[in-house]
Chains A and B, each alone.
Chain A
């Protein structure tokens, strides 16, 4: 909302530098985005001049040599190129030394041999209007030499306010002036609809609104205009007044200047009046050429689905049956609250006008705006829900302007079709309530004063205040707490409010066990040499194919966005791998020679089991979240994770290097993972079928690890990569950290036995170890594989595993006699999986 300072000062001049006012407004709830100066930076050097004589330049056809009186006693010679310059005109002269908008400094100059001592200005050169066809010609009256700023808004400071959507009152100049009044204490003039000023040089005589209800003209509005509102819920009030003898033409300079300063384009006096009234009161208006409204009849109704309207912006809009339209007898004449139709547009030939000030349903208009992709100054106000009573304010101000500016004769009376006004009950502000909420005591008198300055009606009831809310604050201030805010915001809270900490003991702060273990897991990967990344939650739907996930895989059915920013960010990721591979690819393409990245982030699945805990997607609250969002941990290594040096090149990190990282991670959490192939087929479609496995913790599959399938790696321009991804909550659930129970350690030494076992190539180490563990009895405390061998001395299709078995008893040193039968049992068990002792 752009607020020209001079316009606001018609109602309240806080006597502050615009920047200081902006600062104070920011500290009371209205952000001022910036303060700009319209026109020249300074009004110095701009004076009124009178053209005494105008002659053709002797050497240039298009130039005139003017003698201009600027009140100096002697006239000045000024060369002027404007075609409309003529003797006798009152004009604005920029004297040498004056600085034009944009920074050009006026100097004495010779133009084709003639000395020129200044410049006669056009509207556009002064940023007062858009007319550049000729110089600006003022009406007679002002004496030559008068500073132009006394007549024209030169160097006008404009405050650009960022009005919050609750403050519909500040979408009008008068509302902003009232804010300035409450902030500064400077006097507030009566409202323009209440006998206050409406514009520079306008007589208040014309502002006698009461008169308009007397039968002055030949006609009464009700005779010429018929308004039918079919949907009261969408249009709670529609007021209209007719005018005859309207003289359409350009607006006076001051009005154009104000509209331009406010950021609007002047069009014609009638249209400019509707915009001016909107900017002043916050209530939008619309003017129709009444002669183009058949029988003067307008119907407010829901549009028929697919019904079209040609709007004033030159576009045609197709409406739905949820949208409200204004129709004449022939069809649609406008989109209610949004934009008028071109069918009854006011033009140069217009002589009768129907002036509309209506009230519309905010939420409905908001939806219309969204559906049509159309937003106007009017709809941006209506969508925040205005009070129906504001329509009368607008009609009153418009009537005064129509009479003064357009020479119009108002018809008698308003047509006013109104649903019952929204009920408004006084609000009680209890004693002590302000202090209870703010933590700052403010005297009751001071509270009352603050509210009154803001336009509220206040009565005392003991220590309580009983407060009446004006219509333009009706939807914003509805409860006691809203009054507390009003009092607080203009009580210089920033300076007065103490900084305290909440009282009340016994609050334990801290991380949950899951949260602290999450940190430990992330730290482990960091210690293992991986850089943490944060990938986008949304991804390309084609990622599913890049990762070779087929339709049967639930991960190929991601959560879809209805309004994505782009196609490649249109679905929520179901796996982290794609994000991490993408980041690896980008880094390598930028010259990195190796990459080790991990991400700790969520995936988004349409369904699936929730939990354990928030990291497993089980969040507090009564209603389950719409999707399942478990936290995953994914690590990818390309190249070596170990450093190379002058002593040797570190090899490319392979499956086992990454498995070591995973084991380190689990070990750091006090638990262990195993990697197994649970089925015959590939573990994951995006992994090397022979070099991949499922990751298990306590027998439960929690993810996968493996070499990335060469075809998938190629999709990401990688020569190869190893990766794992696990469900973090499931891993953390297996961690005994913090819950360990001490077990007495034995002083008796262990006895180690090594076995070399021949098994078929396809028998996994885990199978062999499981066979040993299953048959070793209680005294067997550990089995490890310390060598794998195939080749010479071992049969075709076989491999030799070297196992170290460790036996230990808590109460004695074990003898060979005790251990030998155990080993025999183990060997027997190994025979069950086709194993035999080697050599």
Chain B
């Protein structure tokens, strides 16, 4: 009897192995493990066997049945996986089609990017960032910056005036960010290290002049500040913006609110300051001069301190420097933008070039 069971086992294993589909497998299961199967019959008839055969037949029969059941189960799993693989293989896409676009990020305006760069550089040098009003009193824009009424220096800046009958003095659009020097010193005693980025206005309009433009003002006041410190500060800033090989040049100049006053230039980053390019032609960026004019600066004029004496600005105890330059000018140089007016045209074909 045990031999018969082992024969059935071999037969059944072969049938399961041969099954190529779920249906064939089910047929094999019914044939070898179903209610009418021979093995089922043998196990059901154990009680009718002689006592000495009951033990070996029962244990062999049950073992074989469990083994077959496990084998079928594994086979079911295998067939399922094979069918899945088959259907997956048929489920094809054209991987060469474009991906679904994510929503495109927008773009910050180049003036914002350059302004933030300058802010970050100056923050690293210990400066705070301040803002001031654009519609301003004559006092802050001129008088307290040592441009007395009737001073010809007022003519240097073509000023927009505001129709106003509320104030005794004239109201205007600030012609520079310098009024914040006075406001900042009114608000806090020395030492003071601050920059003021912002919009400024002059009555002038062509490819190199815009009636609205952006400046950054810088002011440092303390007990031992010198013109050499101004040079070092500007040099550090310009190297951060234009590269570590840049040099600075300061040319004496005149501004009513600084004394001594200078204009400052950075060595040309296209020709390295030589004024000519590798092929020997004249450098177009610096026009062959080797230097690029950037802005004005100087030591704070004692007369300006005189207007903020109340907050402790005594020219015998503190000195300071101030500087100012155009943000557009820097952005034009950084990105090779030729016409100032492009910044205010807001053509997305321009804006989207600055990511």
CB distance from A493 to the nearest CB of B (A): 7
Instruction: Provide the residues of chain A in CB contact with B249, threshold 8 Å.
Output: 494
Closest to A504 in B: B222
User: Do A586 and B226 touch (CB < 8 A)?
Assistant: no
List which A540-578 residues lie within 8 A (CB) of chain B: 559-565, 569, 572
Residue of B whose beta carbon sits closest to that of A383:
B152
Contact B319 A498 (CB under 8 A): no
Q: Does A608 contact B (CB under 8 A)?
A: no
Chain B residues near A384 (CB-CB < 8 A): 152
Residue B72 interfacial (CB < 8 Å) = no
Decide yes or no whether A525 CB sits under 8 A from chain B.
Answer: yes
B199 CB-CB contact with A under 8 Å: yes
Categorize the interface residue count of chain A: 35 or more
Contact between chains at B224 and A526 (CB < 8 Å): no
Residue of B nearest to A605 (CB): B135
Least distance between B165 CB and chain A CB atoms (Å): 11
Q: Are A501 and B111 in contact (CB under 8 A)?
A: no
Specify which chain A residues have a CB less than 8 angstroms from the CB of B52 in the assembled complex. none
Complex interface bits, B221-239 against A, C-beta within 8 A gives 1, otherwise 0: 0111111110111011000
Please provide the chain A residues from 302 to 331 with a CB less than 8 Å away from any CB of chain B in the complex. none
Is A789 among interface residues, defined by CB-CB distance under 8 A?
Answer: no
Cβ of B182 under 8 Å from chain A: yes
Q: Nearest Cβ in chain A — how far from B161, in angstroms? A: 4
Contact across chains for A526 and B186 when beta carbons are under 8 A apart:
no
Could you say which residues of chain A place their CB within 8 Å of the CB of B325?
Answer: none
Partner of A565, one of B102, B133, B203: B203
Distance between Cα atoms of A560 and B49 in the complex (Å) = 118
Does residue A583 face the partner (Cβ distance < 8 Å to B)?
A: yes
Q: Which one of B7-15, B60-68, B84-92, B251-259 contacts A?
A: B251-259
Contact at A494–B193, with CB atoms within 8 Å? no
Residue B132 at the chain A interface, CB threshold 8 Å = yes
Q: Is A528 an interface residue (CB 8 A)?
A: yes
Measured CA separation A526–B125 after assembly (Å): 28
B153 A494 Cβ-Cβ under 8 A: no
Q: Which chain B residues numbered 114 to 148 have a C-beta less than 8 Å away from chain A?
A: 116, 119, 122-137, 139-140
List of A residues within 8 angstroms of B232 by Cβ: 498-501
Stretch at the interface among A80-88, A213-221, A360-368, A797-805: A360-368
Residue among B133, B155, B301 having the largest count of chain A Cβ atoms under 10 Å:
B133
Q: Which residues of B contact A155 (CB under 8 A)?
A: none
Q: Are A531 and B107 also in contact (CB < 8 A) when A363-B151, A437-B299 are? A: yes
C-beta contact mask, A632-648 vs B, less than 8 Å → 1, else 0? 00000000011101110
Q: Is there contact, CB below 8 Å, between A499 and B106?
A: no
**Interface presence of B104 (CB below 8 A):** yes
Q: Is the CB of B134 within 8 A of A604?
A: yes
A715 to chain B, nearest CB (A): 18
Q: Report B181 CB to chain A, min CB distance, Å.
A: 10
User: Taking each of A482, A504, A529, A537, which has the highest tally of chain B beta carbons within 10 Å of its own beta carbon?
Assistant: A504
Q: How far is the CA of A710 from the CA of B137 in the complex (A)?
A: 40
Taking CB atoms and an 8 Å cut-off, the chain B residues in 181-203 that contact chain A are: 182-184, 186-188, 191, 193, 199, 201, 203
The A interface, classified by DSSP as helix, strand, loop or mixed, is loop
In-complex Cβ contact of B109 among A511, A534, A572 (8 A):
A534
Stretch at the interface among B22-30, B34-42, B276-284, B339-347: B339-347
A440 at the interface (CB under 8 A from B): yes
- Give 1 or 0 for each of A584-601: 1 = CB within 8 Å of chain B CB: 001100101001111010
Contact of A561 among B155, B173, B299 (CB under 8 A): B173
Residue of B nearest to A478 (CB): B303
Q: Would you call B346 and A488 a contact (CB within 8 A)?
A: no
- Contact A535–B252 (Cβ < 8 Å): no
A623 in the interface (beta carbon within 8 A): yes
B163: interface (CB < 8 Å): yes
- With A494-B250, A537-B199, A621-B182 already in contact, the answer to whether A532 and B109 are too (CB < 8 A) is yes
Q: A501 — which chain B residues lie within 8 A by C-beta?
A: 125, 229, 232-233, 236
Residues of B within 8 A of A522 (CB): 108, 112
Residues of B within 8 A of A659 (CB): none
Question: Is the Cβ of A614 less than 8 Å from the Cβ of B126?
Answer: no
Residues on the B chain within 8 Å of A367, using CB: 150
Interface residues of A in 432-451 (CB under 8 A from B): 436-440
**How many Å lie between the Cα of A503 and that of B191 in the bound state?**
11
* Chain A residues positioned under 8 Å from B319 (CB to CB): 436-437
- Contact A484 B211, CB 8 Å, known A511-B123, A535-B346: no
Closest residue of chain A to B319, judged by CB?
Answer: A437
Looking across the interface, which residue of chain A has its beta carbon closest to that of B328? A534
A619 to B315, CA, bound (A): 25
Known: A437-B260, A500-B229. A619 touches B252 (CB 8 A): no
In the complex, residue of chain A having the shortest beta-carbon distance to the beta carbon of B201? A537
B335 at the interface (CB under 8 A from A): no
One of A25-33, A56-64, A254-262 contacting the partner: A25-33
Q: Hey, which chain B residues are within 8 Å of A500, CB to CB?
A: 226, 228-229, 231-232
C-alpha spacing A620/B105, complex, angstroms: 36
B side interface size, CB within 8 A: 106
Residues of B within 8 A of A647 (CB): 100
How close is B197's CB to chain A, nearest CB, in angstroms? Answer: 10
On whether the beta carbons of A538 and B212 are closer than 8 Å, the reply is yes
Known: A488-B260, A532-B108. Is A165-B254 also a contact (CB below 8 A)? Answer: yes
Flag whether B95 is at the interface (Cβ < 8 A): no
Chain A 357-416 residues near chain B, CB threshold 8 A = 362-364, 366-367, 383-385
Kindly state the separation between the CA atoms of A433 and B134 in the bound complex, as whole angstroms: 36
B191 and A504 within 8 A (CB): yes
* Distance between Cα atoms of A438 and B250 in the complex (Å): 13
Chain B, 309-344, CB within 8 A of any chain A CB: 315, 319, 343-344
Taken together as a complex, chains A and B put the C-alpha atoms of A594 and B133 apart, in Å, by 35
Asked if A497 contacts B231 (CB within 8 A), the reply is yes
Contact, CB under 8 Å: B103 / A642: yes
Name which residue of chain B comes closest to A493, CB basis. Answer: B250
Residues of A within 8 A of B205 (CB): 565
Please tell me if the beta carbons of A504 and B224 are within 8 angstroms of each other in the complex.
yes
CB distance from B143 to the nearest CB of A (A): 12
Asked whether B348 is an interface residue with its Cβ less than 8 Å from the other chain, the reply is yes
Q: Would you call B351 an interface residue if the criterion is a C-beta within 8 Å of the partner chain's C-beta atoms?
A: yes
When the two chains form their complex, are residues A531 and B150 in contact, meaning their CB atoms are under 8 A apart? Answer: no
- Is the beta-carbon distance between A497 and B101 smaller than 8 angstroms? no
Within 488-527 of A, Cβ neighbours of B (below 8 Å) are at 488-489, 493-494, 497-504, 507-512, 515, 519, 522-523, 525-527
A620 touches B186 (CB 8 A): yes
Does A621 contact B112, Cβ atoms closer than 8 Å? no
Are B125 and A625 in contact (CB-based, < 8 A)? no
CA A317 to CA B289, docked complex, whole Å: 45
Chain B residues whose CB sits within 8 angstroms of the CB of A643 once the complex forms = 101-104
- B261 in the interface (beta carbon within 8 A): yes
Q: Which residues of B contact A533 (CB under 8 A)?
A: 109, 346, 351
* A482 cross-chain contacts in B, Cβ below 8 A: 259
Residues A623 and B139 in contact, CB atoms below 8 Å apart: yes
A247 at the interface (CB under 8 A from B): no
Contact between A535 and B134, CB atoms less than 8 A apart: no
Contact of A587 with B227 in the complex, beta carbons under 8 Å: no
If A165-B155, A646-B97 touch, does A562 touch B163 (CB 8 Å cutoff)?
yes
Docked pose: A527 CA to B132 CA in angstroms: 28
Q: Is the CB of A583 within 8 A of B252?
A: no
Known A-B contacts A511-B123, A561-B160; the reply to A625 vs B103 at CB < 8 A is no
The 7 sampled A-B contact pairs (Cβ below 8 Å) are A29-B253, A485-B259, A493-B252, A527-B105, A537-B201, A590-B349, A619-B131
Further pairs besides A164-B253, A509-B126, A641-B103: 11, Cβ < 8 Å:
A366-B150, A509-B124, A512-B129, A527-B106, A592-B349, A602-B199, A614-B131, A620-B180, A625-B137, A626-B133, A646-B97
The 3 residue pairs across chains A and B that have the minimum distance between CB atoms = A363-B150, A439-B226, A439-B228
**Could you list which residues of chain A lie within 8 angstroms of chain B, going by C-beta atoms?**
26-29, 31, 164-167, 362-364, 366-367, 383-385, 436-440, 479, 481-482, 484-485, 488-489, 493-494, 497-504, 507-512, 515, 519, 522-523, 525-538, 559-565, 569, 572, 583, 586-587, 590, 592, 595-598, 600, 602, 604, 614-615, 617, 619-623, 625-627, 629, 641-643, 645-647
